[in-house]
Amino acid sequence: MNCYFSKNYKNTTNAGNKAKTDIEFILQKNGFKNIGLKQSFHTNKISGFFVTLFSVIKTAFCLDKGDVLVIQYPLKKYYYFICRTAHFKGAKTITLIHDLGSFRRKKLTASQEIKRLSQSDYIIAHNTAMQNWLKENGCLTPIECLEIFDYLSPTPTPERTQAHSPYQIVYAGALSPRKNSFLYEWGDYITNYSIHLYGQGFETDKAKGNEHFICKGFIPSDELIKEVEGDFGLVWDGDSTSSCSGEWGHYLKYNNPHKTSLYIRCELPIIIWEKAALAPFVKNNNIGICISNLEDLDDILANIPTADYQTMKNNIRKVSQQLSTGYYCAKACRKACDILSSI
């Protein structure tokens, strides 16, 4: 039996929780059985803790020989327990990575992370850059790539064929100087476009060229897909406009930011740092542009032919449809199960 287990998620306004609950739904749709407790959204920490604990314990009891269990990582204190219990009972595990603790949060060293992940029989990494990093740091477990996170939503995307003049750039997420200090320098380099900010924490008085920024506030993802105003979605992080630097920026070389999937579901062509791990996906699918820095964006946008922009829009509509059906998660998990069943 192919299976997974659910846990308590508090809410789905958090990008990480949204990604995990989407994957549970995709797994269920593709014949995987939830052998833990029912998915829940308790906001109380104590209630949430016990729901997750009991779900892990129930999973351990329900596993049988020959089962394949999908684990969403990180799982903190329960990861070793669930992997070892699965192997003791003759089951195999697939670990689908959401985040690596050895990067931004520095909660683990690289060797500690690899030792932990090596408890699994199969790993689904975000992309080839993350796959290579795991191998280079000593991971011998078979690794498959997800390519990009799916993004489920019942909201249909309205038809938006006409680009604004000048272009409008959308940036969604945490907007405080701590995580995105590049935002506060960016205004110096903007002349012929504007920025629509979706999120909380932007300190307008600290931003250079703040007249170019339009703060839209936090909007739930389903509403954003329907209401977003803009022509491109920006994938950038860190403390510099000239490159994605700092701990947050550096992580873009290895991870798949969930906001990229949100932009695609909004059918916004992507603007992404050329060294980001998702840049090849954007380029190969012709759904946006890869840039070295934000300081040249005025000239870059001015030289995009209308026909090229329309091609990006047409292409991103196709990818958006794939994300809305769980295509990438289903494909990676099916391949992992097929490989494990043949071992």
pLDDT tens digit string along 246-298?
A: 888 899 999 999 999 999 999 999 999 999 999 999 999 999 999 999 999 99
Cut 0.75: pTM above it: yes
Q: Which amino acid is at 62?
A: C
Q: What local confidence, expressed as pLDDT, does residue 13 receive? A: 67
What distance in Å separates the CA atoms of residue 297 and residue 314, rounded to the nearest whole number?
22
Residue 253: per-residue pLDDT? 95
φ/ψ of residue 88, rounded to 5: -60, -35
- Write a three-state SS string for the chain: CEEECCCECCCCCCHHHHHHHHHHHHHHHCCCEECCCCCECCCCHHHHHHHHHHHHHHHHHHCCCCCEEEEEECCHHHHHHHHHHHHHCCCEEEEEECCCCCCCCCCCCHHHHHHHHCCCCEEEECCHHHHHHHHHCCCCCCEEECCCCCCCCCCCCCCCCCCCCCCEEEEECCCCCCCCCCHHHHHHHCCCCEEEEECCCCCHHHCCCHHHEEECCCCCHHHHHHHCCCCEEEECCCCCCCCCCHHHHHHCCCCCCHHHHHHHHCCCCEEEECCCCCHHHHHHCCCEEEECCCCCHHHHHHCCCHHHHHHHHHHHHHHHHHHHCCHHHHHHHHHHHHHHHHC
Q: What is the chain's Cα-based Rg?
A: 21
* Of 158, 144, 151, 172, nearest in space to 271 by CA: 172
Among residues 304, 270, 274, the alpha carbon closest in space to that of 292 is found at 274
Contact at 8 Å (CB) between 70 and 146?
no
Given a cut of 70, the residues of the chain with pLDDT beneath it are: 12-15, 160-162
Say which residue the tokens 């307008």 belong to.
204
**Cα–Cα distances in angstroms (integers) from residue 23 to residues 20, 124, 192, 213, in the given order:** 5, 12, 39, 34
- Closest residue by Cα to residue 151 from 134, 131, 165, 172: 172
Greatest pairwise CA separation for the chain in angstroms: 63
Report, at the CATH architecture level, how domain 2-150+327-342 is classified.
3-Layer(aba) Sandwich (3.40)
**What is the per-residue pLDDT for 286?**
97
Asked if residues 264 and 320 have their Cβ atoms less than 8 Å apart, the reply is: yes
**Domain chopping of the chain, boundaries:** 2-150+327-342, 168-324
Q: Which fold has domain 168-324?
A: Rossmann fold (3.40.50)
Q: Say how far apart CA 139 and CA 243 lie, in whole Å.
A: 29
